[in-house]
Amino acid sequence: MFENDIAKALAVEGLAVQDVFCALEVPKEAKMGDICLPCFKFSKTLRQAPPVIAAKLAPYAQSLPFVEKAEVVGGYLNIFFDRNTVAAGIAPLATSDVVGKSDEGRGKTICIDYSSVNIAKPFHIGHLSTTVIGGALYRIFKHLGYNTVGINHLGDWGTQFGKLIVATRKWSSLEEVAKNDEYFLNSLYVRYHKEAEAHPEMDDEARAWFKRIEDGDSEATKYFDVFKKVTMEAVGKIYDRLKISFDSYAGESFYNDKMESCLKILSDKGLLEESDGAKVVNLDKYDMPPCLLVKADGATLYATRDLAAAYYRKQTYDFYKCLYVVAYQQNLHFKQLFQVLKLMDFAGADDMEHIAFGMVSMEDGSMSTRNGRVIWLKEVLDKAVEKAEKIISEKNPDLKNKEQVAESVGVGAVVFSALWNNRIKDIVFSYDKVLNFDGETAPYVQYTYARCASALRKGGAFDPDKADLGAITTDEGYEVVKSLLSFGESVRQAAKLREPCLVTRHIVDLAGKFNRFYIGHRIVVDDEGTRNARLMLTAAVKHTIGTGLSLLGIDAPEEM
What rounded mean pLDDT belongs to the chain? 93
Res 433: pLDDT: 76
Question: Are 51 and 134 contained in the same domain?
Answer: no
Nearest to 334 by CA among 299, 360, 310: 310
pLDDT mean over 324-341: 97
- Do 122 and 174 share a structural domain? yes
Task: Note whether residue 390 is domain-resident.
Answer: no
Q: C-alpha 68: how far from its chain's center?
A: 39
- Of 89, 174, 192, give the one whose Cα is nearest residue 478: 89
Is 485 a domain residue? no
pLDDT tens sequence across 215-259: 889 999 999 999 999 999 999 999 999 999 999 999 999 998 999
Q: Both 221 and 316 in a single domain?
A: yes
Long-range contacts of 80-85 (CB under 8 A, 24+ apart): 80/33, 80/34, 81/1, 81/2, 81/34, 81/35, 83/469, 83/473, 83/478, 83/481, 84/469, 84/470, 84/473
Single out the residue of 449, 458, 381, 428 nearest to residue 131, CA to CA: 381
C-alpha radius of gyration, the chain, whole number: 28
Q: How confident is the model over 551-560, as a mean pLDDT? A: 96
Same domain, 76 and 122: no
Taking phi first (over 0 means left), then psi (-120 to 50 degrees means alpha), and beta for anything else, what does residue 69 get?
Answer: beta
Q: In this model, does residue 366 exceed pLDDT 60? A: no
Mean pLDDT of 177-201: 91
CA 369 to chain centre: 25
Question: What local confidence, expressed as pLDDT, does residue 362 receive?
Answer: 67
Judge whether 383 and 407 are in contact, CB under 8 Å.
Answer: no
CATH number at residue 208: 3.40.50.620
CA distance 210 to 264: 25
Which pLDDT score is estimated for 121?
Answer: 81
pLDDT tens digits, one per residue of 436-482: 777 789 999 999 999 999 999 999 999 999 999 999 999 999 999 99
- Show the domain range for 70: 3-81
**What average pLDDT does the segment 493-512 reach?**
97
Query: Is beta strand 76-81 parallel, antiparallel or unpaired with respect to 35-38?
Result: antiparallel
The pLDDT of residue 2 is 87
For 358-379, what is the mean pLDDT? Answer: 71
Report the pLDDT value the prediction gives residue 372, as an integer from 0 to 100: 57
Task: Give the H or E element holding residue 273.
Answer: strand 272-275
Query: According to the 3-state scheme, what is the secondary structure of 451-503?
Result: HHHHHHHHHCCCCHHHCCHHHHCCHHHHHHHHHHHCHHHHHHHHHHHCCCHHH
Q: How far out from the chain centre does Cα 414 lie?
A: 14
Residues 68 and 134 occupy one common structural domain: no
* DSSP conformational letter for 365: B
Neighbours of 524 (CB within 10 A): 14
Apex 145 CA angle, 143 and 148, nearest 5: 80
What SS3 class is residue 10? coil
Q: Count of CB atoms within 10 A of residue 298's CB?
A: 11
Task: Please give the pLDDT value at position 440.
Answer: 87
pLDDT at 144: 98
Q: How far apart are CA 131 and CA 124, in angstroms?
A: 11
- With contact defined as beta carbons under 8 Å apart, do 138 and 246 qualify? no
Select the highest-mean-pLDDT range: 359-363, 438-442, 488-492: 488-492
The enclosing domain of 68 has a CATH number of 3.30.1360.70
Compute φ and ψ for 327, nearest 5 degrees: -55, 155
The CA–CA distances, whole Å, from 215 to 99, 210, 211, 212 equal: 52, 9, 6, 5
> Quick one: 37 and 149 in the same domain?
no
pLDDT at 544: 98
Domains identified in the chain, total number: 2
Considering the domain architecture, whether residues 76 and 114 belong to the same structural domain is answered as no
Q: Could you tell me which residues are beta bridge partners of residue 355?
A: 325
Least Cα distance to 497 among 245, 133, 153, 152 occurs for 133
What pairing do the DSSP bridges indicate for beta strands 321-327 and 352-357?
Answer: parallel
3-state secondary structure of 82: coil
Do 113 and 171 lie in one domain? The reply is yes
In this predicted structure, the answer to whether residue 502 has a pLDDT above a threshold of 90 is yes
Judge contact between 401 and 349, C-beta under 8 A: no
pLDDT at 182: 85
Longest dimension (CA), the chain: 85
Is 308 inside a domain boundary? yes
Half-sphere exposure of 428 (CA within 13 A, CB side): 4
* Residue 477 covered by a domain: no
Residue 120 pLDDT: 82
Average pLDDT over residues 315-324: 98
Share of the chain above pLDDT 90, in %: 83
pLDDT of residue 137 exceeding 70 = yes
pLDDT given at position 55: 96
> Quick one: 54 exposed, middle or buried, by C-beta within 10 A (0-12, 13-18, 19+)?
buried
Q: Three-state DSSP class for 11?
A: coil
Whether residues 128 and 238 share a domain: the answer is yes
Phi, psi for 47 (deg, rounded to 5): 55, 45
Q: Is 129 part of a structural domain of the chain? A: yes
Q: Parallel, antiparallel, or unpaired: how do β-strands 321-327 and 109-113 relate?
A: parallel
Percent of the chain at pLDDT exceeding 70: 98
The DSSP symbol for 155 reads: B
346 in the same domain as 246: yes
Where among 362, 379, 398 does a domain terminate?
A: 362
- Contact of 526 with 466, CB cutoff 8 Å: no
pLDDT category at 297 given cuts 50, 70, 90 is confident
Q: Is 35 helix (H, G, I), strand (E, B) or coil?
A: strand
Q: Average pLDDT for residues 170-187, to the nearest whole number?
A: 92
Domain C-terminal end among 330, 362, 394:
362
**β-strand 352-357 against 272-275: which pairing, if any?**
unpaired
**Residue 25 resides in a domain:** yes
Q: What is the pLDDT of residues 55-71, one digit of tens each?
A: 999 999 999 999 999 99
**Residue 208 counted as domain residue:** yes
Assess whether 167 and 63 both reside in one domain.
Answer: no
498-502 CB contacts, 8 Å cutoff, 24+ apart: 498/137, 498/323, 498/353, 498/355, 498/423, 499/422, 499/423, 500/132, 500/133, 500/136, 500/137, 500/140, 500/419, 500/423, 500/551, 500/552, 501/419, 501/420, 501/421, 501/422, 501/423
Assess whether pLDDT exceeds 70 at residue 31: yes
Q: Is residue 127 part of a domain?
A: yes
Considering only residues 334 and 395, tell me which one the structure prediction assigns the higher pLDDT: 334
pLDDT of 462 reads: 97
Using DSSP bridges, classify how beta strands 67-73 and 76-81 pair: parallel, antiparallel or unpaired: antiparallel
Residue 175: per-residue pLDDT: 94
The residue among 333, 362, 391 that closes a domain is: 362
Report how far residue 435's alpha carbon sits from residue 429's, in angstroms, rounded to the nearest whole number: 11
Q: Is 76 helix (H, G, I), strand (E, B) or coil?
A: strand
Rounded-to-integer distance, Cα 547 and Cα 100, Å: 8
Q: What is the pTM of this model?
A: 0.92
Upper half-sphere CA count for residue 210 (Cβ side, 13 Å) = 19
| Residue 109 clears pLDDT 90, i.e. is over it | yes
Quick one: average pLDDT of 148-164?
93
pLDDT at 491 over 60: yes
pLDDT higher than 90, residue 545:
yes
Does 313 lie in the same domain as 238?
yes
Question: Can you give the pLDDT at residue 371?
Answer: 57
